[in-house]
Amino acid sequence: MLDRSARRLIDPPLNRLGAVLAARGWTANGVTLLGLALGLIAALTIALGQPLLALLPLLASRLADGLDGAVARASHGTDFGGYLDIACDFAFYGAVPLAFAVLDPVNALPAAFLLAAFYFNGTSFLGYAILAEKRGITTQAQGIKSLYYSNGLLEGTETILLFVALCLFPAAFAPLAWVFGALCYLTATLRLYGASKLFT
């Protein structure tokens, strides 16, 4: 829901920085993998009992996630690069709830619910992208992407805001996970409904 507005704010500086990195020999895939590494470091830091400290690598990982596309646009984007980007995103998204379950076993059930919701929402997102590609449907509402990005109630921006809130208020993990997971299920259900109207 917030990605389009966020993109209008962050894309211009990201594109400028991406052009500088590309000129210095950085590759988009390298930036993607750096972002994943930072995200996994953040998850490990959470699991080791330092969620507040995890904010630094977590936010740095999301900066890298925005920069990889900017580097690709300034150099040479590939279909594999887009595929690698989304795969690394999902690896990161799954690692953070898992880390909170390791941090405190009380979080295990809400973490499992949140992960199941991510799984359902991610499936609805990727399936929609495949059908849109098959039909030749394109969009740049969320910026220039290598696959179709269907919008929804919850998108990447909201997920990052959730993770920041969890790091700031780890004791609130359970209620935040239950609410966000429920909204993920609603997002996926609404996407399925939209697909039923568009692809039949």
Write out the H or E segment, with its range, that includes residue 61.
helix 55-74
Domain positions in the chain: 3-198
pLDDT value, residue 61: 97
If you average pLDDT over every residue of the chain, what do you get?
90
- Going from the C-alpha of 15 to that of each of 23, 69, 71, 115, 128, the distances in angstroms are 12, 8, 7, 32, 27
Please report the sign of the dihedral spanned by the C-alpha atoms of residue 136, residue 140, residue 146, residue 150: negative
Q: Would you say 154 and 187 are in contact if contact means Cβ atoms under 8 Å apart?
A: yes
Q: Of 198, 28, 184, 25, nearest to 117 (Cα)? A: 184
pLDDT tier for residue 152 given thresholds of 50, 70 and 90: confident
Predicted confidence (pLDDT) at residue 9 exceeds the cutoff of 80: no
Three-class secondary structure of residue 18 per DSSP: helix
Report the interhelical angle of 55-74 vs 79-103 (nearest 10°). Answer: 180
**Which residues in 48-61 are b (16+ Cβ under 10 Å) and which e?**
eeebeebbebbbbb
Angle at 99 between CA 92 and CA 152, to 5 degrees: 45
Mean predicted confidence (pLDDT) in 116-131: 92
pLDDT value, residue 121: 94
Q: Would you say 24 and 30 are in contact if contact means Cβ atoms under 8 Å apart?
A: no
Q: What is the CATH number of domain 3-198?
A: 1.20.120.1760
pLDDT value, residue 133: 83
pLDDT tier for residue 156 given thresholds of 50, 70 and 90: confident
The model's pLDDT over 79-96, given as tens digits with 9 standing for 90+, comes to: 899 899 999 999 999 999
Q: Would you say 157 and 187 are in contact if contact means Cβ atoms under 8 Å apart?
A: no
pLDDT value, residue 140: 61
The model's pLDDT over 91-116, given as tens digits with 9 standing for 90+, comes to: 999 999 999 999 999 999 999 999 99
